[in-house]
Amino acid sequence: MKENKSVLKKITDSREASLLIVLIVLCIVISLRSPSFMTLKSISDMLKNNAVIMIMTLGMLGVLLIGGIDISIASTLAFSGMSVGMLMKYGMVQNTFVLFLIAIGIGALCGLLIGLIISRGKVLPIIATMGFMYIYRGLAYIIANSQWASAENLGTFKDFALGSVLGVNNVIIVMVICYIIFFTVMKWTKIGRMVYAVGSNREAAQISGINTANVELLVYTVMGTLSGLCGALAVSIYSSAQPNMLYGREMDVIAACVIGGVSMTGGRGSVAGALLGSLILAIIAKALPLVGIEAIAQNTVKGVIILVVIVLNVITQRMMDKNNLKGREM
């Protein structure tokens, strides 16, 4: 009996464990309705098609951890993706590696500008990123000039998303590398500790000698960098570059973080939680058509499932806080 209670306590003391259980239950339920869901090809396709959201979730994790927010990320993605798409369309650059560097550079500059406005100009993140959301999306349309880059314009660039190493798709490899880097940085480096410190208590972080403005600038620059990377990936995955790419999908990125237990007020969240949150979101998106949910009802069902998972997450957090309080009293 004590062992059962101990196991239960460990589960309720860990948001990640609770999310993992939700993930497993979802997979089992969906597999019962659609056995093809758990095949290697199905899982690979799901990860590849949702890699862009999953990678940007990492950047949003950093932003939310310091108590910020960035709703311009989909526009940054479109701006960087459209830029490399037009470069290929007009034959100016064809090298895949160089095109990725250009997209990443554009994204980094976009994020840097946002970070400067917020950290130095002291503009509220929601206001600053809302403005840049329109600016960057507008620039994507200006670059497009009523045109778009189709598969025939992309040359070998589109083949990147089709290629693989040891049977693992290139896009998935890029995503895994991003998660490994972020996990290492957030878990074992001074930068990770500073991000958590700023989000937990900004004033205390300043007193302890942390330059909070620089930390703020860093997380927004990283967010922009990842958005630029995802702009190039999206062009390769979908074999086209259009100015309306991933329109409105910044909400999916934020939802993935919230599902993963990342606090909107800062200071709480993990890379593992962000991964699980984005996986749950990816599974929901993949599963709804498979189980026969009509297209017009999918967003409603998706919203209900997300809400249920978030409520479970909140309950778990309260149980964790309660257990921690009891531990202090003892």
Q: Is residue 168 part of a domain?
A: yes
Q: Is residue 173 part of a domain?
A: yes
- Whether 11 has a pLDDT exceeding 70, the answer reads no
Which tens digit of pLDDT belongs to each residue from 261-290? 888 888 888 999 999 999 988 888 887 777
Q: Is residue 291 part of a domain?
A: no
* Residue 120 or 148, more confident: 120
Q: Dig out the tokens for 148 from the structure.
A: 């778009």
Strands 164-165, 168-169: parallel, antiparallel or unpaired by DSSP? antiparallel
**Mean pLDDT, the chain, whole residue set:** 86
Report how far residue 236's alpha carbon sits from residue 233's, in angstroms, rounded to the nearest whole number.
5
Q: Which amino acid is at 268?
A: R
Rg (CA), the chain: 21
- Whether 326 has a pLDDT exceeding 70, the answer reads no
Q: Is residue 255 part of a domain?
A: no
> What pTM was estimated for this model as a whole?
0.89
How many domains is the chain partitioned into structurally?
1
Q: Is residue 30 part of a domain?
A: no
Report how far residue 200's alpha carbon sits from residue 210's, in angstroms, rounded to the nearest whole number.
13
Which tens digit of pLDDT belongs to each residue from 225-242? 999 999 999 999 998 889
Cα separation values, 153 from 92, 109, 113, 236, 241, Å: 11, 26, 31, 11, 10
Q: Is residue 306 part of a domain?
A: no
Which tens digit of pLDDT belongs to each residue from 16-32? 787 888 888 888 888 88
Helix 295-329, helix 2-12: angle, nearest 10: 120
Contact 224, 107 (CB under 8 A): yes
Report how far residue 51's alpha carbon sits from residue 73's, in angstroms, rounded to the nearest whole number.
15
Q: Dig out the tokens for 42 from the structure.
A: 């199905």
Q: Which amino acid is at 171?
A: V
Q: Is residue 69 part of a domain?
A: yes
- Whether 2 has a pLDDT exceeding 50, the answer reads no
Q: Is residue 267 part of a domain?
A: no
SS3 for 205-227, per residue?
Answer: HHHCCCCHHHHHHHHHHHHHHHH
Q: Which amino acid is at 77?
A: L
Q: Per-residue b/e over 116-150, b at no fewer than 16 CB within 10 Å? A: bbbbeeeeebeebbeebbebbbebbeebbeebbbe
Range of the domain at 195: 38-247
- Whether 327 has a pLDDT exceeding 60, the answer reads no
pLDDT of residue 235: 93
Report how far residue 3's alpha carbon sits from residue 73's, in angstroms, rounded to the nearest whole number.
46
Nearest to 132 by CA among 189, 88, 74, 183: 74
